Amino acid sequence: MAVGPELFPTMLPINGFKLGTTSAEIKTPNRRDLVVMEVVENATIAGVFTLNRFCAAPVLICQQHLAEIAGAVNAKRYLVTNTGYANAGTGPDGYKNSQAVCERLGKMTGVSTENVLPYSTGVIGEHLPVEVINGALIRCLDGLSESGWDDAAFGIMTTDTRPKGSSRSLVINGETISITGISKGSGMIMPNMATMLAYVATDVGLSQSLAEELLKEAADQSFNQATVDGDTSTNDSCMLIATDAANLRFETAEDQGYSLFKEALFAVCVELAQAIIRDGEGATKFVTVRVEQANTREEARCVAYTVAHSPLVKTALFASDPNWGRILAAIGRAPIDELDVANVSVYLDDVLLAEQGGVARSYREADGAKVMANDEFSIVIKLGRGDVSADVWTCDFSYDYVKINAEYRS
């Protein structure tokens, strides 16, 4: 179940970036579950990661390897992703297992272990079947192709019901460049950098400092505005790869044409983030919680997330029940200082729901129910405190959300 039609786009290849996918049968037979990505020499790689203190072994290793290879561009790099098991909460053995996969792939490709970046997703607390994964790596390498995006989008899925991809091509300074990305995520989605796994590649060249700055900002404007259930994963990783294969390179944010590239990259990240919410576990609604007239962006987000995380609000969304009292209660408990509820107004799309501390005199239950019967709509909250706005994308809690997570390990 997911919100909206399944529209997987045509994925433009990125010169200098190849993907190979196979079924290693890590957890589930006959399911694509292992992906290797090959990055050409001279490329720039940046990442943002979960802030969960129980972060998974592959996250720790990926961060360490990125730091060790920063500025070193004379060798190919490889990203390896397994699904089925997250290799989180696995202690020293989990670290050794993830490192063993990196070592094996490094030997197979003739690069140092530090040039291999690992990613895992799936059940927490289960150890990686290293021999199974290492034995299947050769099939990924044999299948490496710049057109391998479609299979890879399936290969990184866990409870996802559909693959998630986005691709753009545009002309900047007379050069045609491309940006293509995939993401996975359906449950345990709550940003604390980005959420889930995401890989975005472009043939543009970027300096290391600019790539890191750009990815942090892109994640903040996309993945950090998405929440399914308020749970920050142990394995969240979001990667940006710039292959420098096009005749266009940006060293600083002031370079001509950079703003156009940045806008296109942000659009790809937003599309990938929204696709995760549309495919939230058991989701039947895609809801934008927009807070306006806040003093700061942090304040606006705080209120938006309090509403978006409320189980009572989310179950009302599933029931298409305009239970405005639940929305007001969530706004009222948001941890912001000196909120004057008399200045707050709440809308369902353009239907005024509440104002001056209670239900609006013009409000009719039938009008609210009509909006909430839609698959997609907005909850708009005007705080009457300032001129800053922020959006958060979320979904409802359905019966299937409980069923999926109750049966997750079975």
Q: Tell me how far apart the alpha carbons of residues 23 and 31 are, in angstroms, rounded to a whole number.
A: 5
CATH number at residue 396: 3.10.20.340
Q: Which residues pair with 233 in a beta bridge?
A: none
81 in Cβ contact with 119 (< 8 Å): yes
What is the residue type of 134? N
In a domain, 10, yes or no: no
Decide the pairing of beta strands 197-202 and 175-184: antiparallel
As for how many domains the chain has, the answer is: 2
Distance of CA 399 to the CA centre of its chain: 24
> What's residue 84's pLDDT?
92
In a domain, 51, yes or no: yes
* 150/173 same-domain check: yes
Counting Cα atoms < 13 Å in the Cβ hemisphere of 200 gives 35
Q: Which of 278, 299, 317 is the last residue of a domain?
A: 278
In a domain, 12, yes or no: no
> What's residue 71's pLDDT?
62
> What's residue 194's pLDDT?
42
* 65/125 same-domain check: yes
Place of tokens 């995401």: 198
b/e burial code for range 354-365 (CB count within 10 A of at least 16 → b): bbeeebbeebee
- Condensed to tens digits (0 to 9), the pLDDT of residues 240-275 reads 999 999 999 999 999 999 999 999 999 999 999 999
b/e burial code for range 176-189 (CB count within 10 A of at least 16 → b): ebbbbbbbbbbbbb
CATH number at residue 208: 3.60.70.12
> What's residue 78's pLDDT?
98
> 392 pLDDT band (50/70/90 cuts)?
very high
Is a pLDDT exceeding 60 seen at residue 195? no
Mean pLDDT for the stretch of residues 80-88: 94
> 193 pLDDT band (50/70/90 cuts)?
very low
In a domain, 203, yes or no: yes
> 99 pLDDT band (50/70/90 cuts)?
very high
Q: Tell me how far apart the alpha carbons of residues 111 and 74 are, in angstroms, rounded to a whole number.
A: 10
> What's residue 159's pLDDT?
79
Q: Which of 278, 295, 320 is the last residue of a domain?
A: 278
**CA nearest to 101, candidates 52, 35, 43:** 35
Provide the sign of the torsion angle of the four alpha carbons 86, 233, 30, 200, taken in this order. negative
> For this structure, is 394 an active site residue?
no
Q: What percent of the chain has pLDDT over 70?
A: 92
Domain span including residue 401: 286-406
Mean pLDDT for the stretch of residues 134-139: 98
Q: What is the mean pLDDT of the chain?
A: 91
Q: Which of 230, 245, 278 is the last residue of a domain?
A: 278
Catalytic residue among 50, 109, 195, 227: 195
> 308 pLDDT band (50/70/90 cuts)?
very high
> What's residue 47's pLDDT?
94
> What's residue 404's pLDDT?
62
